[in-house]
Structure 1
Amino acid sequence: MSFTLAIVGRPNVGKSTLFNRLVGKRLALVDDQPGVTRDLREGDARLADLRFTVIDTAGLEDATDDSLEGRMRKLTERAVDMADVCLFLIDARAGVTALDEMFAEILRKRADHVFVAANKSEGSAADAGVLEAYSLGLGEPIRMSAEHGEGMHDLYTALLPLADGYAERAEAEAPEVDVAVDEDGEADPEGVRKPTKARPLQVAVVGRPNAGKSTLINKILGEDRLLTGPEAGITRDAISVQMDWDGLPMRIFDTAGMRKKAKVQEKLEKLSVSDGLRAVKFAEVVVVLLDAAIPFEQQDLRIADLAEREGRAVVVAVNKWDIEDDKQGKLRDLREAFERLLPQLRGAPLVTVSAKTGKGLDRLHAAVEKAYDVWNRRVSTARLNRWLTGVLEAHPPPAPGGRRIKLRYMTQAKTRPPGFVVMCSHPDKMPASYSRYLVNGLRDDFDMPGTPIRLTLRSQSDKNPYKAKKKAGPSKLRKHLGKPPRNS
């Protein structure tokens, strides 16, 4: 991306709507009520032939204390300092307010390049507000409507001269794309993809509200990138942050806290939870964060089960470990509860961390890396069939109706997560207990703890393919050979 554009302005002026239009997707949550956006959200924007990074910010408030609004304003000011260009958005229908004038003065001092845009300017009712925008002293305002896509050409015209100046910097900072290679050094398109800066590892942190997800990610980043605080439910959008965690390129997603479905009544919270579920579906590794004081609540189990059903690699992390007194006894109880309540994730990593002090982050890093490697694991067909022979000798399959189910052949069909296919007779009669026996054996014998394993049984007929065909008699055989019948 050639440059970074930050969209700033008062609450409810249409910043997230413009962000979604520039990235071409409905990434940011949009609602009629003000103050929906709280964190900084980055996206890859496209405007004609321009490619740049756009940042959606929280609405600027006249607050500088440690309140939620004050913390949101500090994050927005940080985005202004990070960005190359700032787009100051006002509501053309409401006109220029005292807050707009105050923030325009701040932008003049902190930003190198500032453009003012009068949003919601469709129709004649916004003419007066567009004219008032000249009084901000930030040059000619761009008249636009983010909802209807009007004014995009004028925005392109304003950004084009600056884009040329940042093009050389973007080319120098472009990452190199690594290609998987085989043992001979040749390109291997089917090889296990190693995370790179261009294609980082996708990690989603999920859990109940106030479990410490944003605080944990801030501690990993080493900076206050995400909005945190004692209030439950601060995070609304699924915010992604790209980073390099001890040599592991990663894009980590902070998601909104997920409460029980019956308690989610407001439209905005429903949108937040849906955004978090979408992050789980696109992630490769899911970190389920628990509160050490109340671990393995019913909602925690639902979240972990969701990640397993989606086929993601799962790591269970227990936060707020610094306030525990009897750590050994608590850890023993956690492991027992984990094995009892989440048997489908048997062997998955269980690590204890403290997002406040940073203890346990090295163990979390190792657990995420191992879970990703196991998720990509491939076993050769020869090894699988040797293993299958031994398993069948140790514990033969059942014989429903007096006819034993024959397992003939096994192969791995896919990875991410590992998926196996077994060719057998009467797959519809195979009991679920024996399928679990095979899955657990795969976990133990091929070192695949915790990762979801998909086992598919397919029918392979043992009938003679020539049995149904009628055997040719002597007369037909002589006719085929061109000989006359015997009685002629």
Structure 2
Amino acid sequence: MDKIYGSIAIIGRPNAGKSSLFNRLCQLRIAITSKIAGTTRDIKKAHITLGEMNFLLLDTGGLDKKNDFFEHISSNSLKVAEESDLILYLLDGKEPPNEEDKKIFYHLEKKNPHIFLVINKIDNEKEEQQVWSFTEFGSKNYFFISTTHNRGITGLQNAILKHFKDQPIAPLFHNEEEESLEDFLEHSHTQESINIGIIGRVNVGKSSLLNALLRQERSLVSNIAGTTIDPVDEISTIGETQVCFVDTAGIRRRGQIGKGEIGDLERFALLRTKEVLSKTDIALLVLDASKPFVELDEKIAGLIDEYKLATIVVFNKWDIAYKDFKAIMQDFKLRFRFLEYAPTLTISAKNGRHIQKLEEEILKVYKNFSFRIPTSKLNDILQQATIKHPIPSDKGKIVKIYYATQFDNKPPQIALIMNRPKSLHFSYKRYLANFLREHFDFSGTKIIFIARGKNDFQESDQ
């Protein structure tokens, strides 16, 4: 792992341009940016390189106290800034100095003297000449920038580098003296990590579940629907296994996605959710047990099928379930037949019910998701299956499987070498999948069959 020489927190009131500066320094569009105040609602992290030095960059939520929810954002943001090695306090240069900004700046300066005052949205030299009123903050380090026009960014980067070189800080991550660099790199590359996406519609308790799994308040929880916009990721462990949890944005019905700026924001959040799922191993599908299932739940579950993910279905808010277990499971099996392979758990993220059991299930499902069947064993089992229930003929012509091999995992993918691959009916593939499940624990994962002939092939998920 490369050395991280320090942490840099970007902080300021809403709409100052924190996420835009974060993206500029990352040179990648990671945080969602918008003119809507309060867009960033969780701490966003990224590793960046300036010169030849690596840093941990933190994008905080806006400092605003319009209601209890934003007071919560402020406390999280302030804590992150106070503990960082350098603070970039961002101001909106289009507005005159604000008394609230001064109070926050002085508070942070007292807690952490390593702070830069960065005035954003200064798009030209004329505007720069008009903003010297910001000198009343009394800061020793002023920077006039425009994230939109990439103005002043290089100067800011150079100042950050000079700051850390003048005041060196012990690297956040470094190798133990007794461990060689080669050993360390080998260990870091071979450590397996399970990527877990938490998905569901708005307000089903995804962020509460993430906090329960982490045993800490990492993601903000609110009764306001749609609190999480950007996917929030956090590295943790289950036993000795490293896991990366991602709390994705809640998904709304198409008709509920607004028009204009808010609608664009939600559409981008949906795209980011899909981007996360493309890199996910296991999806935790969170369903609200306090209310009947809706069509949107089924559509969201369809993303699991689209990205061929391992799956655990989580019935949250079980402490206030609207029906008994038997009735809810009957409704689930009727609506979600395509998830019949997925284990189900009743939990309450609020009081911690069955969280440990969910962790155990995650490890079990990932093992199934990654499992490879030895070729000889696979062929023996499929031969038993075809003897027990022969493949239906194709217009009187015999259909045979000559040979089978599992050519990939995550999920398990099996090639069937056949004389008539297009004649293998969907129902027979389902039969083969169920037969395999009788011999191996494939709970939580799909089984993909690819029937291959001499000149063509087809694919089926079971």
Following the alignment from structure 1 to structure 2, what is the Cα–Cα distance between the partners of residues 267 and 168?
40
Deviation at 1:227, TM superposition (A): 1.4
1:473 aligned residue: none
Aligned pair 1:379/2:382, yes or no?
no
2:115 aligned residue: 114
Q: Is the 8 A contact 2:19 2:33 kept in 1?
A: yes
Q: Partner of 1:171: helix, strand, or coil?
A: coil
1:49 aligned residue: 52
Q: Is the 8 A contact 1:87 1:115 kept in 2?
A: yes
Deviation at 1:130, TM superposition (A): 4.2
Q: Is the 8 A contact 1:92 1:128 kept in 2?
A: no
> C-alpha deviations, 1:409-435, integer Å up to 9, x for none?
100111111111001012122221112
Following the alignment from structure 1 to structure 2, what is the Cα–Cα distance between the partners of residues 271 and 400?
48
> C-alpha deviations, 1:360-394, integer Å up to 9, x for none?
10111011111111110101111111111111101
Following the alignment from structure 1 to structure 2, what is the Cα–Cα distance between the partners of residues 298 and 48?
51
1:68 aligned residue: 69
Give the number of the structure with larger relative contact order, counting CA–CA contacts within 8 Å between residues 6 or more apart: 2
Deviation at 1:62, TM superposition (A): 4.4
1:348 aligned residue: 342
Following the alignment from structure 2 to structure 1, what is the Cα–Cα distance between the partners of residues 69 and 126?
34
1:467 aligned residue: none
Q: Is the 8 A contact 2:229 2:248 kept in 1?
A: yes
Q: Is the 8 A contact 1:29 1:237 kept in 2?
A: yes
> C-alpha deviations, 1:135-182, integer Å up to 9, x for none?
2122131222222333232222222244342354432589945659xx
> C-alpha deviations, 1:157-211, integer Å up to 9, x for none?
222244342354432589945659xxxxxxxx9xxx753xxxx321111111111
2:226 aligned residue: 233
Following the alignment from structure 1 to structure 2, what is the Cα–Cα distance between the partners of residues 38 and 125?
34
Deviation at 1:345, TM superposition (A): 2.4
1:411 aligned residue: 405
Deviation at 1:350, TM superposition (A): 0.6
Following the alignment from structure 1 to structure 2, what is the Cα–Cα distance between the partners of residues 26 and 402?
58
Deviation at 1:94, TM superposition (A): 2.2
1:475 aligned residue: none
Aligned pair 1:147/2:148, yes or no?
yes
Following the alignment from structure 1 to structure 2, what is the Cα–Cα distance between the partners of residues 262 and 253?
26
The alignment's TM-score, normalised by the length of structure 1, stands at 0.85
Following the alignment from structure 2 to structure 1, what is the Cα–Cα distance between the partners of residues 175 and 397?
68
Deviation at 1:256, TM superposition (A): 1.5
Following the alignment from structure 1 to structure 2, what is the Cα–Cα distance between the partners of residues 162 and 126?
27
2:391 aligned residue: 397
Aligned pair 1:260/2:253, yes or no?
yes
Higher mean C-alpha deviation, range 439-448 or range 380-389: 439-448
Following the alignment from structure 1 to structure 2, what is the Cα–Cα distance between the partners of residues 107 and 443?
58
Task: Specify which of 310, 314, 319 is matched with residue 313 of structure 1.
Answer: 310
Equivalent residue pairs, number: 441
Quick one: which amino acid aligns to residue 289 of structure 1? Answer: V
2:100 aligned residue: 99
Residues 460, 57 of structure 1: alpha-carbon distance in 2 compared, 3 angstrom cutoff = same
Quick one: which amino acid aligns to residue 76 of structure 1? Answer: S
Q: Is the 8 A contact 2:399 2:418 kept in 1?
A: yes
The alignment's TM-score, normalised by the length of structure 2, stands at 0.89
Q: Is the 8 A contact 1:3 1:170 kept in 2?
A: no
Q: Partner of 1:147: helix, strand, or coil?
A: coil
Deviation at 1:286, TM superposition (A): 1.0
Task: Specify which of 266, 270, 274 is matched with residue 271 of structure 2.
Answer: 274
Aligned pair 1:36/2:30, yes or no?
no
Higher mean C-alpha deviation, range 372-381 or range 247-256: 247-256
Residues 125, 442 of structure 1: alpha-carbon distance in 2 compared, 3 angstrom cutoff = farther
Quick one: which amino acid aligns to residue 420 of structure 2? Answer: H
2:282 aligned residue: 285
1:435 aligned residue: 429
Following the alignment from structure 2 to structure 1, what is the Cα–Cα distance between the partners of residues 52 and 149?
20
The 5-angstrom pairing of residues 80-229 of structure 1 reads 80-128=81-129, 130-164=131-165, 165-172=168-175, 176=184, 195=192, 200-229=193-222
Residues 353, 79 of structure 1: alpha-carbon distance in 2 compared, 3 angstrom cutoff = same
Residues 69, 222 of structure 1: alpha-carbon distance in 2 compared, 3 angstrom cutoff = same
Q: Is the 8 A contact 2:50 2:157 kept in 1?
A: yes
1:2 aligned residue: 5
Quick one: which amino acid aligns to residue 4 of structure 1? Answer: S
Q: Partner of 1:401: helix, strand, or coil?
A: coil
2:459 aligned residue: none
Following the alignment from structure 2 to structure 1, what is the Cα–Cα distance between the partners of residues 51 and 339?
47
Structure 2 unmatched ranges of 5 or more: 456-462
Moved over 6 A (4+): none
Deviation at 1:78, TM superposition (A): 2.1
Quick one: which amino acid aligns to residue 61 of structure 1? Answer: D
| Bigger Rg over Cα | 1
Following the alignment from structure 2 to structure 1, what is the Cα–Cα distance between the partners of residues 285 and 433?
23
Q: Is the 8 A contact 1:119 1:143 kept in 2?
A: yes
Following the alignment from structure 1 to structure 2, what is the Cα–Cα distance between the partners of residues 345 and 36?
34
Following the alignment from structure 1 to structure 2, what is the Cα–Cα distance between the partners of residues 223 and 305?
30
Structure 1 unmatched ranges of 5 or more: 181-188, 462-488
Aligned pair 1:78/2:71, yes or no?
no
Quick one: which amino acid aligns to residue 58 of structure 2? Answer: I
